[in-house]
Structure 1
Amino acid sequence: MKPILVVDDDPQMRDALREAIKRLGFAAVVAENGQDALNKLATTPIALVVTDMKMPKMDGLTFLKEVKKRVGSLPVLVITGFGTVENAVEAMKEGASDYLMKPFSFDTLTRKINSIMDAMNSVKEIITENPKMKKILLLANEVASGDTTVLIYGESGTGKELVARFIHQSSQRKQKQFVGVNCAAIPENLLESELFGHEKGAFTGATDRKLGKFELASGGTILLDEIGEMPLPLQAKLLRVLQEKEIDRVGGKQTIPIDTRVIATTNRDLYKESTEGRFREDLYYRLSIFPLHIPPLRERPEDVIALSDYFVKKYASLLGKGVKGIKKEALSVIEKNPWRGNIRELENVIHRAVLLSRSEFIDTDDFLFNDPVTPVTDSDAKGIKAMEKDLIFKTLKEVDGNKTKAAKILGVSVRTIRNKLNEYGKDFPGV
């Protein structure tokens, strides 16, 4: 695994960041100024740069520009002092992946680093052997060259966000930000501020000015995930943004021009939603200038095997297991499964199988499927709870008890891990 490069002229902050990064399970390389960091970049493969903005000799913004010239795809997390939002915004416009405002907590640093690393891991080549998907990727590559708004639709877990990132990475905007907003995960009363930002005093609790995702993605791409969940009043404001290329911060007195490409995803039939009054018809047509439909995994049988092989290699490497593949009988079981949860479900099943496998090749007994149709009896429930406990303990053992890393591998929150450990008692020493 490539290390994370920490750049800060303050030795105490440098050491604190190095130790925090080690706690997250990553190796760390440190540099005391921008030039020192550039020298290290020239000789050492780096996964992520974490840099302070205020440094002597070469400030953080100049350093960021140099990094983007030399290694354009390398993600950079910038750290800036409280009250200097403008510096952070300028850094985002120059291609920084995200920013941290001092003072910040270890949990905040964890979320930022994990989010950036997850995003980078997902921008790899899309695994497919299916003719339909190959055609879709050709279309996505064609539309990437312009600024056309794209609507990607399909069932949950089919890889819509991955295709959106593919479009961004294939475009002329790839050196700038890709900013995702889950419209279904943010409360309605906060979504407008999240998208367009707000001014200080705009509402109770607005103690400082906040920049919205559209401004942060300026020059790059914004992904409006699950756009069908957006409230109707906000849809009208979004339509105006798409038409006028400008936004209004909540509580603001002037419009702000933006240069942001929009990609939207949905698992709903937005045309039907629009005809039944649950989605604005004019917004539907404005978003669907270039629609792309991602077929479910059950219509892509070639990809089941290809993706299974990819996930086996991925989790065998992550978990340090000697699993090399899947037995022929087990492959037959995988091919026949309906995969209602699509690629996300397949990944979870293979992940668990790699953890549970005690040989070089996964067997049918290693599979733990999620079947929402079959009723669960009391004895089944006890068995599932036992397997869940075994899975969590195995993962913690693999990562030397690091709850943050275990949570990332299992796809759950650290709080879930803590709650489960409290539920199990002191069966896992040292955690």
Structure 2
Amino acid sequence: MTDTTTLTGATLPDGRVRNVVLRHGGISHIRPVGIPDPGQAAIDLTGYLLLPAPAEAHLHLDRALTWEPVGSDPDGRDGAVRSWRAQPTRYGTADLRRRAHRTLQALSANGVTAVRTHVDIGPGGASLRAVEVLRELREDLHRVLDLQIVAVPSPDLSDRAALEAFAAGAGLLGGRPHRASDPRAETRRLLRLADRAEADLDLHLDHRPDSRVLAVADLARLLRKSGFGRQVAASHCATLGLLRPPALAKVVEAIAASGMAVIGLPSTPHGDIRALPPCGGPAPLHALLDAGVRLAAGGDHLRDALHPMGRADALATASLLMTTGQMAAEQAYAAVSTSARAIMGLPAAGTEPGAVADLLAVRASSLAEAVLSAPADRIVLRRGRVVSRTSARRPAAVPGRYATGYGRRRVPAGAR
């Protein structure tokens, strides 16, 4: 591909059909549909909607695709956790690399060009080796996607051992304060560790709806008192959905004042912000948006003991936001694309001049159609270069017979 490429006949999110000119990995300019300049490479996007590429803001690659060998048990979520904890020793680094690579390939084929993965860090060297394997994948796949690694130390792990994850390849600090005997003290420790590591913080908070616990409010207060100057994200925040409108408004105001971001995980069973609070009032997601809180959404678990489902598709996550969070298509897609990228500290992508040319072209006439039907026909560009093409073979009508199904075919980048 030359330094300049024209995407011809693309439908922009606002409905206009235009030619989009890419140069040096970014959007150079947009012009009316016409014949590309001589000598320029061209990609025909007639019939395709051109969108900023999605970003997966919260995933657990170390557990992905372990549902079949690990399974779960009839004891619900706690049983699923026990099933996973009893099994990790069965998996070597080669297995982790295979599963993580397969997951990242699926995400890329569906349009994702940036992923943030959380990795549990416990005593011993196995978890650090997992970070090293993901760091190697990050290097191998850097032309296809950005991979951010969040080290999630267990509460009983020493400060020194937790910080070793950064030497192994982690770039952010995570944590699950609810697993500590003193969650507030653990939150303060994680803030201190992130400050020492000069790393942004992304915590699992209020992962179960429980009106007696509101860790996200505690974190907001700690951030304002401590003057912590780095980026902070709170994932899950399920308890927000249980709050009555006055209490919700007060907590949301504190979150907004703290500057933290919130990452919802709508595919997580019983572990995410519910759509409607009791006694009416605004839905929590809308309350956060109205207050100016930066909001993203992610897939969380993918076919593992905690969640056996998942398609590694940001359009599916956006669809869940529309159905469970009462969000418009534009709000839902922003949560898995432009807002997610901003929270992850990535440069803006999209169809505006000057933006990075991380793009998803999907065969659809509107954003609502793309989100709700998740068409198989997709072209993914990373920094202006095609990294994946997926097309569907549709059955033709045969007189007197019924078509028996259809398949989808992925064409390697550069094959056309």
Larger Rg: 1
**Higher strand fraction: Structure 1 or Structure 2?**
2
Higher normalized helix content (fraction of residues): 1
Q: TM-score, normalised by structure 2?
A: 0.26
Which structure carries more relative contact order (alpha carbon 8 Å, separation 6+)?
2
